[in-house]
Structure 1
Amino acid sequence: MTSNVPTTYKEVFKTDKGVVYQCDATNRLILEFWDTHTALSARDFAQFRRMVETVDIRQMALSTDAAHDVEILTPPRSERCYVLTLCEIVHLRELLTGARLMLDLNAMLRECGCSTVES
């Protein structure tokens, strides 16, 4: 992962495989995965997260058919295309789920008037 993160980016959630940042200047979430950066609106982020969650990893794991070795996913309104193996899908799910939970936690804290959680 890169160390040259713009100062307008706030880390939302990080794993050893990637990181999700929030950019208040552009009102976007930045997905850093595979040393690439994909900027997504909150709606597109949620849609992509649901897309990743609906991949049938059980089918991928059990199938001997080569067609189930990878899954091709394209985030909404993006030219990026991810060709993911079973392990990569699991890592991406972990990253996206963790980011969603942190965003939800921060929203709940703002609603109750508490300060937001800093990474």
Structure 2
Amino acid sequence: MTSNVPATYQEVFRTERGVVYQCDASNRLILEFWDTHTQLSARDFVQFRRMVETIDIRQMALSTAAAHDVEILTPPRSERCYVLTLCEVVHLRELLHGAKVMLELNAMLRECGCSVAE
């Protein structure tokens, strides 16, 4: 993963395979996955996360048909296209779910008036 992260990016969640940053300057979430960067609005992030969650990984794992070897996804309002294997879908799900949980936690802390740790 890239070590040249702009100062305006705040890390939301990281796994071995990727990281999600939040950029307050552009009001975007940046998905870094397999050395690619995709900027998403909060709404597009939620929509993309739902797309990834709806992939039937059980069918991908059990099917012998070549059509189920990969899943092709295009994030909303993006020119990027992800062609994902079963393992990559699992890794992306983990990353997006972790980011979702951290964003929800930060929102709850702000509502309570607690300061969010930097």
TM-score range, shorter chain: over 0.9
Paired position in structure 2 for 1:31:
31
Paired position in structure 2 for 1:72:
72
Q: In 1, Cα distance between the equivalents of 2:39 and 2:69?
A: 27
Structure 2: segments with no counterpart, 5+ residues: none
Paired position in structure 2 for 1:114:
114
Coordinate RMSD, CA, aligned: 0.5
Q: Percent identity?
A: 86
Structure 1: segments with no counterpart, 5+ residues: none
Taking structure 1 as the reference length, the TM-score comes to 0.98
Residues 1:12 and 2:49 aligned together = no
Q: In 1, Cα distance between the equivalents of 2:36 and 2:104?
A: 25
Q: In 2, Cα distance between the equivalents of 1:117 and 1:48?
A: 27
Taking structure 2 as the reference length, the TM-score comes to 0.99
Give the counterpart letter for 1:37 in structure 2.
Answer: H
Q: How many matched pairs? A: 118
C-alpha displacement of 1:116:
1.2
Residues 53-109 of structure 1: per-residue CA shift (max 9 Å, x gap): 000000000000000000000000000000000000000000000000000000000
C-alpha displacement of 1:117:
3.6
